[in-house]
Chain A
Amino acid sequence: MNVSNGAEEDVILALRGITKIFPGVVALDRVELAIRRNEVVGLVGENGAGKSVLMKILIGLLQPDEGRVLLEGIPITLRDPSDAIRHGIGMVFQEGSLVPNLSVTENLFLCHENGFSRLGFFSLRSMREAARELLGELGLQVDVSEPVAEIGPSARQMVEIARLLWLSRLYGRDNPVLILDEPTTVLADKERETLFRILRELKKRASVVFISHRIQEVVENSDRIYVLKDGKNVTEMGAADARIVRIEQLMVGHSFSADRFHEDEQRTERGREILRIEDLGRTGIFEPLSFTVREGEIVSLIGLVGSGKEEICRCIAGLERADTGSISLDGRKLPTGSPDVAVRAGIGHIPIDRRSEGLALMMSVADNVNLLVLDRLKRAGLLSPAQERKNAQHWVSECQIKTPSISTMCANLSGGNQQKTVMSKWLSSQVRLLILDHPTRGIDVGAKDEIYKLLRRLAQQGIGMVIMCDTLEEDIGLSDRMLVLKDGRLVREVDTPPQKKPSPQSIISLIV
């Protein structure tokens, strides 16, 4: 171990050589993590760096393929979250883990009501008193009988923290480990300050793993920082001598290779303008902005969570109504907020969650591919099975969808082939513009490459694309032009021509 002996004794929880492999992807590769008593550990890394997989292993939601979890030096197995909390390890989830219709009190003690029970009946009064006391320790003023759905996000977080503290006390853990996954994304500035104050208080009797995209927060509020990249430890450093720029560099890494994104196939000649966005805005979400997309051009939107890029894409796809401005396709104005008009005009949308939004999973590949072009596959007013087969077969071979047959149910395909099916659905409908929301999310490396190739071919055919990627590298590598968004404003346009791509390091400072 590379930690000194004095610190070694202080380590309450350690992960040693943790490896986790998903089909086709090594999510974690011999990751090391040590958490000491009364310490806030910052954990940073890009999307897909393995942070959440690591945390899921820590709370027993996933089991590591290799490596050990040591609690005070003793190896432990964590079967599920309730097992983890018995060992004093708990997590405050980004999406929350409280039952909305139950009150604050009821949530705090859910499944652990024994101490308040006499002959099987709870004493509601003593539960409420205990709840008030617990929340008082965290300085939270809230009506404990209020249903959780009615209290604010910051109070909800506090209730979750209080629950974890109380449970670890119940199980006799004097120094619990609390994992806070992106706790600040849902909070307003003032609430953030409160959270950090409580974090400092918590340190007196617990250890905290603090995950955030905002590196400044991590540097300011942690004692030590771990940087993960591509499922590997990059470095561990004391927060006192951490520099934000340095962490950013470590996060995005240097393994930038030109051929990975098939840059040599990137189109250089500019076609006609297809999409024109003028003063498009949504009150409180993103400020009015204008941009255009040309034939065969890939325009990437980059920015943090909350920068407004998702909402812009949803507006273009007609899934959300804009408050100001206009969207024109091939010079024709489209009404916003109407997905069927957008589809008919030739705007395709490849959503982030292809399993629930992009595909009808229980339908065959052929049915999915043909879904938007049924009108063209008719003979005498009825669907022609021969035409359906022909169209499906054409696109299956065109997009190289690996499927046993065109009648295979989409649920049985791999992630990469599902994504190709979604894309072929749009291609068969002769789409003009594609909006791609994290097209390679959850897809293994080989299939990613095929998707990249497919995108290049689409560009050659003149389809315009607006894309949001999983990593900055991918954005830079794939795009012809990038639009940098920050807090709902378009702050910069960056050209990314082939062989002359800017470095991720130079871009990241624009985003954060």
Chain B
Amino acid sequence: MTTVTARSGGLTPLRERLPGSIVSAATWFWRGGVAAQVLTLAIVIGIFAVGTGGKYLSWSNIQVILSLAAIPAIFAIGLHPTIVPGGIDLSVQGVASLVAVFVGLLLKNQYNAHDVGFWIIPLCMLIGAVAGAVNGLLNTALRIPSFIASLGMGWILYGLAVYMGKAVNVPLLDTRIGKFTSATLWGVPLIAIAVVVFTSIVQVIEDRTRLGRYMYAIGGDEVIAKQAGVNVGMTKVALFTVAGAVYGLASVLLTCRLGIATSRMGLTLLFPTVTAVAVGGVALTGGIGGAKNAALGALIVTALNDGLILMHVSPYIQQAVNGVVLIGAVALTIDRKKLGFIK
């Protein structure tokens, strides 16, 4: 189900028998790297469509899924450029909490005198970018494994957020961004459209710019990439910075959607974000998967949870199902040849 096996594909024996146009279309589809995810999504939809007697496929439910998947998709898009080069950024909870507190301090509400309006978005992205840059520098300059560096950073930021926010829930009075996150355009959630556009932009950057190309080269083989002339350290710092900035963007949207700024907001974000990226087919061993994978992963996980709710499955079982899905996705995407030891 991974892009690795998908690329080597079971296509070879069929190649001779099928017409050329179908073969090249199929090759294109497999090469796209999301074939397995599209199939997974189709299976999930199929099961729930039958399980709920068609209710799952109603337009209102599809609207719910698209709308709910959008912000997790941005978080997942933030995480994946740190996984593709072979690392990971686990600081998402800290970044999100700190951003929520900043939103509470700077956006119009009953406690404060400030109102920065839409400027809150670039400001929060900047906060995330700084956090990401620190993660990257800890990883490259101090040579601390990114897992530890970003986990530590995450708790530092969370501590800072709780300290600054004093665990107060701040209802927001400037609801413009919040309204954007729940608006629809011709019946389609606006934020879902925005995420599709965002995903496409990130994907083009990955496919067609030096930063993207180097990200995959590092993920494929860091030593060879270095010998070819890739500035590995700089590239990694840049990728962590981008990851942080995207976390910041997702966090400000999430805060405004909730309408309440609270330092506790981040605390449940890590697991769904990692799950989405893994389910989307981004290999944790690095080198494989792009923004489209991250976004699709978030959509699959959201569609799954929505279906479970519609079928009145106990919330505890839902969590267990998510755990199973995470392990299953990693089992299918991990390239064990690349790992000498599994730690």
A interface residues, Cβ below 8 angstroms from B = 80-82, 97-102, 106, 110-113, 117, 120-122, 124, 145, 147, 150
Contacts and interface: CB of A to CB of B under 8 A. Distances in A.
B209 A97 contact: no
B228 A121 contact: no
Interface string B216-234: 1101110011011110000
B114 interface: no
B55 interface: no
Contacts of B230: 110-111
B204 A113 contact: no
Given A102-B220, A150-B7, A82 B210 contact: no
A405 to B, nearest CB: 29
Contacts of B7: 147, 150
Interface in B152-200: none
B213 interface: yes
B208 A101 contact: no
Given A110-B228, A145-B31, A101 B209 contact: no
30 contacts: A80-B227, A81-B227, A82-B227, A97-B224, A97-B227, A99-B224, A99-B228, A99-B287, A100-B221, A101-B219, A101-B220, A101-B288, A102-B213, A102-B220, A110-B213, A110-B217, A110-B230, A111-B214, A111-B228, A111-B229, A117-B210, A120-B210, A121-B204, A121-B209, A122-B213, A124-B207, A124-B208, A145-B31, A150-B7, A150-B8
A427 B272 CA distance: 53
A145 B220 CA distance: 16
A106 B216 CA distance: 10
B220 A100 contact: yes
**Considering residues A81, A82, A102, A113, which has the most beta carbons from chain B within 10 angstroms of its beta carbon?**
A102
Interface residues of B, number: 23
Contacts of B208: 121-122, 124
B340 to A, nearest CB: 9
Chain A contact surface mostly = loop
A101 B221 CA distance: 8
B209 A99 contact: no
Contacts of B213: 102, 106, 110, 113, 122
Contacts of B31: 145
A129 B11 CA distance: 25
A124 B204 CA distance: 11
Given A106-B216, A111-B229, 15 more contacts: A81-B227, A97-B228, A99-B220, A99-B221, A99-B224, A99-B225, A100-B221, A101-B287, A101-B288, A113-B210, A117-B210, A120-B210, A122-B207, A124-B208, A150-B8
A166 B51 CA distance: 58
A124 B31 CA distance: 15
B214 to A, nearest CB: 8
Nearest to B287: A101
Nearest to A147: B7
B224 A82 contact: no
Given A101-B288, A150-B7, A122 B209 contact: yes
A229 B224 CA distance: 30
B30 to A, nearest CB: 11
Interface in B21-43: 31
Contacts of A117: 210
Nearest to A95: B224
Contacts of B221: 99-100
Contacts of B209: 120-122
Nearest to B285: A101
Contacts of B219: 101
Contacts of A82: 227-229
A368 to B, nearest CB: 18
A18 to B, nearest CB: 22
A37 to B, nearest CB: 27
Nearest to B31: A145
Contacts of B225: 99, 110
Nearest to A85: B229
A190 B228 CA distance: 30
Contacts of B214: 111
A483 to B, nearest CB: 31
Contacts of B220: 99-102
Contacts of B207: 122, 124
A150 B207 CA distance: 19
Contacts of B216: 99, 101-102, 106
A150 B220 CA distance: 13
Contacts of A111: 214, 228-230
Contacts of B228: 82, 97, 99, 110-111
A97 B229 CA distance: 12
A413 B198 CA distance: 54
Interface string B45-69: 0000000000000000000000000
Contacts of B217: 99, 102, 106, 110
Contacts of A113: 210, 213
B338 to A, nearest CB: 9
Q: Which 7 A-B pairs have the closest CB atoms?
A: A111-B229, A99-B220, A101-B220, A101-B287, A122-B208, A82-B229, A121-B208
